Chain A
Amino acid sequence: MLIVLLYSFLQKDTYAGIIWSFSWDGWFNVFLQEDIFDETVNIADAHLSIFLRSIRLSFFTTILTFIVGFPTAYFISTRPEKTRNIWLFMITIPFWTNLLIRTFAIMEIIRNEGVINTVLIASGLIDQPIQILYTDFAISLGLVYVYLPLMVLPLYASIEKLDFRLVEAGYDLYGNRWQVLRRIIFPLVKPGIIAGSILVFIPSIGAYVTPRLLGGGKSLMLGNLIEFQFGQGRNWPLGSSLSITLFILVMIALLFYIKITTKKGGERD
């Protein structure tokens, strides 16, 4: 038990240490970061394109979740106290239910013989099923679906604290709805927006299950590439350096987050 404790605390250390020892072992006698750099240059920039796709898809996902999540969070926080918890609960349920099963559920909806296509064909809007599954769009859609609660919850937390007297003041000063939204509400709930975006962006970029099921074989994301290197690829050092790169990407996102939030706090004091 103590070992497990120690071990979970030391996870980060052991893991860095192990990668080092592996690289010393001569699986690849290339320096870690150079190793990945070499790979991306040598192997027909396939890795680079996966990196870019992962980042692009994650950005896209983050923006989409915001577009859907913000009104939802706003809606929940303007409900009367009594029903608010029920709405919140309804957001939390999907969050804690199995990610794999939810991905499977959306997969069934968008497949060629799935509900969406069946309904569209039956209504006569289209005569050929639209190929949604196994595209980049499907991955994004899946990621939005899966990570939406992660956007709604922090947004809710900050909108709930929003002082509506300020909103009212905005209207009194002849602001229209859009101006009030953009000039008053958005700046006030900025911490929530940032927190939500980070919470969606980080798991998106490392996502494995969703792109694997919805992306088919062609559309890989970073997570799948890493798994491939440890599975069929049998290139552990490359896999390790890829995951370190992913780790660094996430750390950059986190540092960015911390920097923004602390600056915010400083301004207020």
Chain B
Amino acid sequence: MLMKGNEVIGEAAIRAGCRYFFGYPITPQTELAEYLAKKMPKVGGLCLQAESEVAAINMVLGCNASGERAFTSSSSPGVSLKSEGISYIIGSDLPCVIVNVQRGGPGLGGIQPAQSDYLQATKALGHGDQHFIVLAPAYVQEIATLMGEAFDLADIYRTPVMLLADGALGQMMEPVDFEAKKQRTLPEKTWAACGHGNKREHNVVNSLYISPEVLEQTVLARFERYKLIEEKEVMYDGYMTEDADICIVSYGITARIAKTAVKAAREKGIKAGLFRPITLWPYPKKQLSALADKVKKFLVVEMNMGQMVDDVKVATDCRRPVEFFGRTGGIIPTPDEILAKIEEMNGGAD
């Protein structure tokens, strides 16, 4: 089936059993809400346009707190508005799926594709000690599988999961197979606040802990869960990394362009490779560290000013030089630009 990225997000959510979408229009992800506005009523679901991004994420909070699968979607400026709610969702140990179809920033920025929310997504979207899972699809097919995975991971670990896409991927049409997602066993939502029916104690969904000792314990317990996620849920992809001298590290749409550059470099006899993190948190640190034993140099390629560079340096303990090439403001780098950077680095290696 041939579908547009933004629509695949919506279709994959419906197929994951999600029946509630709360959103607010913003370019370049509006097709998603429009798709769901048509489809949700046909499957007995609801697509509700909220009065703001702030309200939308809090409707998602309420819906998830009552035990249902709900999600919201936005683009960069709108995601900033959702950050308060996301922090509360983390503090309340609620599952939740958030989609960010990134555009250029800061401020109102632009409406062209970007990856300039990497740091916001992976380091500090909301206040407080926290992490959440960040999935970066590079193909429309991957949107379909990862969107389904996002709902499962959110339920299993009681954490928000963000699908971090970009305007190009959202607008792109590619063939997609929704059956490719793996099946997982999901825990029962015994904590849901949906009416106790006089059959159990009242459930309280809450992020407030006035006692610092108690708050510390809840944070520590959450970080134990984060350890499990880091052990079990890291996803990545590699292309010709085995014998690579220069290894590109790139994610999302940019990784596809980098792959073309790697192929072109190989044709010129340069041993280039590509490492593509699929989970941006948890970050594939161990795999990158192992690569640092083999490759001579890393090249980070992103549609921003180098937001992932430090993660590569930390993962590899700075054992190899880490260089950067990127475009920002909504400009997509070309394979030739990346190839030129590879050639420059290759020349420098001799």
A and B associate: no
Residues of A at the B interface (CB closer than 8 Å) are none
